[in-house]
Amino acid sequence: MTAVGTQYSSNRRDQLIEAAAACFDRDGFDGASIRRIAAEVGMQTASIYYHFEGKDDLLVAVHERGLRSIIEATSRAIEGIEPGWDRVQAACTAHLHTLLGEEPIFKAIMAPLPSTLGVREQIVEMREAYEQIFRDLIDELDLPDGTDRRHLRLILLGAMNWSFTWFRGDRSDIEAFAGSVVTDLRAPLDTGR
Amino acid sequence: MTAVGTQYSSNRRDQLIEAAAACFDRDGFDGASIRRIAAEVGMQTASIYYHFEGKDDLLVAVHERGLRSIIEATSRAIEGIEPGWDRVQAACTAHLHTLLGEEPIFKAIMAPLPSTLGVREQIVEMREAYEQIFRDLIDELDLPDGTDRRHLRLILLGAMNWSFTWFRGDRSDIEAFAGSVVTDLRAPLDTGR
DNA sequence: GTCTATATGCTGATAGAC
DNA sequence: GTCTATCAGCATATAGAC
């Protein structure tokens, strides 16, 4: 065990989170099995319960790690950029690079959740902490009177998050889509038009 | 059994499709169980296998019925409207009313599919037949040079289809969101601005 | 067409040894 | 911390009577 501030972590626990994220992404939360997650790190099923209370807890842990990481990445991407559409652009590009990149954990933390999930509310709350970044960015924009800023945020995030259902491509395709997302929304709403 | 053209149907079969759609919507495909679907129409589990080959086949049947219905609804909504953004607007409003309305089958046919699903490709193909309507609508638009029409379609459908993850509201909220979707995308690309 | 009964397998989770 | 062994439950699917 290594202490990092008040956060404790171990290699084994981290490995389990990573394996769980890959399984949740590939098979969905319901489709993933504790047995297989354990097998992927060379453990027995029962050993998982030393590190986590159960499958739900594992999903929460995946979100804790993934969201902390994407919040850092997106925050860093908008650092030093003036408020306005350029800043939104930077955030969207970072969001899509993270979401559509190689690490499956980010697809897992954006995927729609089973409505029957016990820890659903808790996870929705965690996701909202990330979406606050976009809330702030859109609040900073100079928009035409009557523009619904909440809708604008939901359109932006919806267009991006839905992309995991159809996207098959490389880095340059990600950049191109990020460009389209902001261009298609920016021009009609840009007060400097 | 009643013959309708080459399509055969029975009340029981239809009831099963309806019950399956509700379960798939509420519990997800993996979370839904054949047992419960049967119970909801007052049948025994085994009796389902007289009407359908298995769970996958049931999902395909749900899509056949739901997609046929939403294709009709959206086609009817754009009838008689001149090509252009007004037509896109009409299609989006119809799409959102159907998707976010009372009948769960339409949420079931737009939900992301487990990537491990055997009949996945078949269903994706069926969905594309519906999305062809939007492909055509966007092809008809007069847009600035360099606009990526495929991206525009994916942004539009993504923004709308993601709404099932957050939308809680009534008819007037649906109208309002449909308005935002088109307004936010329309102005900048509208050559008549 | 629908039933009862059942085969077979996988699930999350626990008990307790080491 | 990790193991072996196991529990209890639910899953899809099938066989065969009526």
For B36-94, write each residue's pLDDT tens digit: 999 999 999 999 999 999 999 999 999 999 999 999 999 999 999 999 999 999 999 99
Q: What are the chain B neighbours of A30 within 8 Å (beta carbons)?
A: 28, 30-31
Instruction: Decide: B32 and B104 in contact? Cβ < 8 Å.
Output: no
B10 occurs within a structural domain: no
B27–chain A Cβ distance below 8 A for any pair? yes
| Three-state DSSP class for residue A161 | helix
Interchain CB distance below 8 Å, B166 and A154: yes
Q: Kindly give the interhelix angle for A85-100 and A149-161, rounded to the nearest 10 degrees.
A: 30
B116–chain A Cβ distance below 8 A for any pair? yes
Answer whether any strand C atom is within 7 A of the Cβ of A32: yes
Residue B189 has pLDDT above 60, yes or no: no
Torsion of CA A179, A181, A186, A189, to 10 degrees: 170
The whole-angstrom separation of Cα B90 and Cα B87 is 5
**D chain positions with any atom within 7 Å of a protein CB:** 1-6, 10-16
pLDDT score for B193: 44
pLDDT score for B2: 47
Task: Band the pLDDT of B188: cuts 50, 70, 90.
Answer: low
Mean pLDDT calculated for residue range A120-129: 97
The tens digit of pLDDT for each residue in A136-154 reads 999 999 999 999 999 999 9
Answer whether any strand D atom is within 7 A of the Cβ of B147: no
**Protein CA at A128 to nucleotide C1' at D1, angstroms:** 35
B35 occurs within a structural domain: no
The whole-angstrom separation of Cα A1 and Cα A44 is 20
Retrieve residue A92's tokens.
């969207």
pLDDT score for A188: 75
DSSP string, A102-155: S-THHHHTTSPPPTT-TTHHHHHHHHHHHHHHHHHHHHTS---TT--HHHHHHH
Interchain CB distance below 8 Å, B26 and A116: yes
Q: What are the chain B neighbours of A28 within 8 Å (beta carbons)?
A: 28, 30, 114-116
Retrieve residue B98's tokens.
């159907």
Q: CB burial class (10 A; 0-12, 13-18, 19+) of residue B69?
A: middle
Q: What is the CATH number of the domain that holds B157?
A: 1.10.357.10
Alpha-carbon radius of gyration of chain A: 19
B23 occurs within a structural domain: no
Domain count, chain B: 1
Domain containing residue B138: 58-189
B25 occurs within a structural domain: no
Closest CA to B24 of B40, B1, B8: B40
Task: For strand D, list residues 50-69 of chain B whose Cβ lies within 7 Å of it.
Answer: 54-56
